Structure formats: C-alpha cells, structure tokens
Amino acid sequence: MYPGAFTSTTPDKAAIIMADTGATVTYAELEERSVRLAHVLYDHGLRPGDSVAMLAPNSPLYYEVYWAAMRSGLYMTAINHRLSPVEVAYIANDCGARALIADSSLTETATAIIPLTGAITLRLSVGEAIAGHGSFDEALAAASNVPPSDQPRGKDMLYSSGTTGQPKGVKAPLPPYQVNDGADPLLPLFGPMFGWDADTVYLNPSPLYHAAPLRFGGMIHSVGGTVVILPRFDAVAALVAIERYRITHSQWVPTMFVRMLKLPAAERIGHDLSSHRVAVHAAAPISVETKRAMIEWWGPILHEYYAATEAVGVTFIDSKAWLERPGTVGKAGLGIIHISDEEGNELPVGERGLVYFEREVLPFSYHNDPEKTKKAQHPLHDNWGTTGDIGYVDDDGYLFLTDRAAFMIISGGVNIYPQEVENALTLHPKVHDIAVIGVPDAEMGEAVRGFVQAAPGVETGPELETELLDYLRARIAHFKVPREIEFVDSLPRTETGKLQKHRLREGFVAAP
C-alpha cells in the first residue's frame, strides 16, 4: 500500500503531524504533492534507477520526496544536514544524485556544494529562495496532479553513520513491481510484530535521514496510520507529544531513554502516557539497568530489534522475554544467525565472535565500494553478511551483543569490550555521557581510556575521577576499568546515539 490507497477512504486524515506546531499534512495532500514531484523529476529526465537527494531538517518534506521516489522507481538519498559542505557533496556525488531538494534553512550548505556537484541538473529550494535553485513550490504548482500511468517502486539509498570512518551508501536492488501492487518488503516483518494498522499514531523523535526513522514512517503510511514528527529530540517534548497526540507507537534509541530517566521526577511522571502501547528501540546498545528502569516506568511495552541500514538480518525481543534473559537482543526474525571467528570458523553456543546473518543472497552492496562489500561477507559463505558486531548466542538461539569489532580493545592479549564498561557507568547520577576506547600503550599494546561528559552542575577533576573509577571497580573486573578518565564538554555522537569513536581515537592513533 501507499498514500494514494487511502485518498478515497480517508483523504482528510492526518498522514503527518509536526509535534511542535501541530502542522498537519493529510493523506490527500501527501498524495498530490508526491504525484506532482514525481512529474517534476520525470520531466527533468530522471528515470528508474536514478537518484534524488534531499537536504533538510525534520519536516513533512521527507515524505513528499520519499513517496515521489517510491512511485518513480528512483533511489532516494536523505543526507545528514549537519555534515560539512564537503561531506554533503561527497554523498551527493557518490549516490549519483541528478536532483537535489534543499530546505532554505540550509542555504549556506546548499550554495557551497553547487560547484562540487556538477552532475546535479535539478536543484530546488523549499521555503526562501536559494541562489542557483528553482522554487520547489512553484515547480509543484506547475506540474500535473494526475498519477503517472507507470509507477515502478523505488528504494531508499541511505548512508552509514560513519561511526568508524567515511559513510558508505547501502544500495539494494529495486523491487520488481509497481508502487500500488506491493508495499515495502519489510512491512510484513515489522507490521505484525509491532501491531501497526490504520489506528497507529507513531511518534518519531529521531532524524529522518537515518534508515529506521524514515523507513518506519513509510511503513506507517503503508497501513494508513499517522506519523508524528519531533523536529529534534527533547526529553520533555517527547513526553508532551505522547500525551498531546495520544501516541500509540514510538521509536527510540537508548540515549533518549537515559535522558528521560534523568529528568526530575515531577517532569517524568507528570504526563498521561496511557495511550502508549508499543515503544520500539534499536540502533545502539542499551544497558540492562537502563532498560529495566524503562520497563519499570512505562510497563512491559518495550520492544527491541537488532538490525542495520544494510537490512542483512533482524532479531526481535519483547519485554517479557527480555526480562527472562536480560541483555539479549532477541531471536532471529529475518535470516539465520551464525557466530564466527576471524578465520570464518563457526563457533559453538556461548562463544563470542563476529555476528553473521545467513540469507539466500546478500541483500545489499556498498555503493562504489566492492572491497567493503566483500568484507561484509563471510570468507567461506558469500550469502552470510555482517555489519561488524561481536556477540554470542545461547542454547535457545537468543543473541547477545558484546560490542563492535572495530571498538574491541586488546590489552596484554586480553579482549576488553568497551560497551561493558560504558554500560556500567551510564546511569551514574554524575555522568551525562560516557565513551571508552583503547589507546596505544607501550607495555600492554592498548590501554583502556574513558571519556566522561559530566552531568550539568557537577564539578570535574581528580575527586570525581576517583569516585567514578571506584564505582567501576565495584561492578566490573579491575582489568577492564580505564586507567584514567578524561572529562570533556561533549562526546561525538550521531543523532541516533551512535558514538563516533574514530573521532576520539584520532588524538591517539589513526582511525581505521
């Protein structure tokens, strides 16, 4: 299904609501604007397999572009608007964008990339005029509002977060059907799991240029529900939105849970959350303490899945099953899990190794990077794919993640997983954020080093460092405890909570 399927039955129903202002786009409006944009793109020569890129903060524009691409057989690339012009230009060029749609709040970046992106033949600005760009609204007004007779299904082509280096585009084959003949291929997997239907009111507090937020919204539109968008995450604003819009479903990352848990008690409990039935989280590791605290607060409505932009495989776990096995990310819902060592030998139950998912064929490739695509494949089985996470499975097939292979510290020949150290300190009341990395050490090869952003109003210095190190020694093995902690003003995270550890390591050793 797609928005046009609901224009005859619920044309005035809200397809999109901006949580801060209440601004609404109905299904009829979303359908018409995506149809008009599809004509604009076609009239400028874009054909199935071509790419359209966009640069904007969270807004309904994402889904106008998304559905225009989905009904045109195009690849749609949403670019992180917080990147520098050089980084934006890299992605626009790498994805082969022939059209770029930019919000006027990003005029400086949109203008700066013009000489760097010569392959783009159509540039449109949304809002105020941008030099070198045509008007998005004027282009749509001049275009036909009649759906094209041929509407091949398109795909998103999104870029990895760049947590360990240069972002890479994840490209999957285009579906072999028309947009009105088949829904998002992930909908049959996620829809029944989370109970999405036309009555769903889904809150998205995350940046829409990331895979899960964008795709989940598209799937909600495919069942006729309403997508409520926060312009940016704010702990109090998120709780207000749940109450104001009677949110039924939501999606989060663990750092958002931590921020909400650290609100003053009056702000946490002062909202009516009774409509909230399903709270989905993913994208980054969550500590057992954080998740247990959220279940105690919100009830057993938390659902976790483990996946990636590459969609190589998926695991699922609900609150009841998680409480029986704290720390697991669930059992496979897509693909078959295998754990292998560095040589590709499959490891037995309980042993840590690289997590692979077996599929009939690898469902993606990294655009313009066959070497990275090859590294994502198992050395002995080209239909087993990995995104570089380390973990193990128990006797019942439940997966437990340990860390990313790129982040593992080897000190004196012993493997140390930073995630375990970070989890132990996450909910300390004097800690706002924590990161742990390995740094070169002449004696041990690598030494454990911690970086802490203190909670507001907390004085940093040797006394706090001693307090935090003692706190860790009481909870984890002493060899895992950082030798020292450096206090920082902020840590480099993406807006979905992923630590960009290569940026911390640059001061000590070249990033991988």
pLDDT at 287 over 50: yes
Q: Which pLDDT tens digit goes with each residue over 108-151?
A: 999 999 999 999 999 999 999 999 999 999 999 999 999 999 99
CATH architecture of 27-181: 3-Layer(aba) Sandwich (3.40)
- Six-digit token string for 195: 């109970």
Q: Helix 418-425 vs helix 462-473: angle between axes, to the nearest 10 degrees? A: 110
The residue count for the chain: 512
Give domain limits for the chain: 27-181, 183-309, 336-406, 408-505
Q: Which pLDDT tens digit goes with each residue over 291-317?
A: 999 999 999 999 999 987 787 899 999
Query: What dotted CATH number matches 336-406?
Result: 2.30.38.10
Residue 38: predicted pLDDT: 98
Whose tokens are 């790419």? That residue is 51
pLDDT at 358 over 90: yes
What's the chain's average pLDDT? 92
pTM: 0.84
Distance from C-alpha of 433 to C-alpha of 451, rounded to nearest angstrom = 8
Contacts of 55 (CB under 8 A, 6+ apart): 79, 81, 88, 100, 101, 102, 103, 106, 109, 110
Q: Which fold has domain 408-505?
A: GMP Synthetase; Chain A, domain 3 (3.30.300)
Contacts of 281 (CB under 8 A, 6+ apart): 251, 252, 253, 254, 257, 302, 303, 304
Query: What dotted CATH number matches 183-309?
Result: 3.40.50.980
Dihedral sign from CA coordinates of 249, 253, 254, 256: negative
pLDDT band at 512 (very low <50, low <70, confident <90, very high): very low
pLDDT at 510 over 50: no
Residues forming beta bridges with residue 334, ordered by sequence position = 314
Q: Which pLDDT tens digit goes with each residue over 207-218?
A: 999 899 999 999
Percent of the chain at pLDDT > 70 equals: 97
Residue 161: predicted pLDDT: 63
| DSSP H helical ranges for 22-176 | 27-43, 61-70, 85-94, 107-112, 136-142
Residue 403: predicted pLDDT: 72
Q: Which pLDDT tens digit goes with each residue over 411-451?
A: 876 778 888 899 899 989 999 999 999 888 877 778 899 99
- Please answer whether residues 52 and 97 qualify as being in contact, where contact means their C-beta atoms are separated by less than 8 angstroms: yes
Q: Which pLDDT tens digit goes with each residue over 139-163?
A: 999 999 999 999 999 999 998 765 4
- Please answer whether residues 277 and 305 qualify as being in contact, where contact means their C-beta atoms are separated by less than 8 angstroms: no
Residue 257: predicted pLDDT: 94
Instruction: Name which of 400, 314, 285 is nearest 350 in CA terms.
Output: 400
The domains spanning 27-181 and 183-309 adopt the same CATH topology? yes
Residue 387: predicted pLDDT: 80
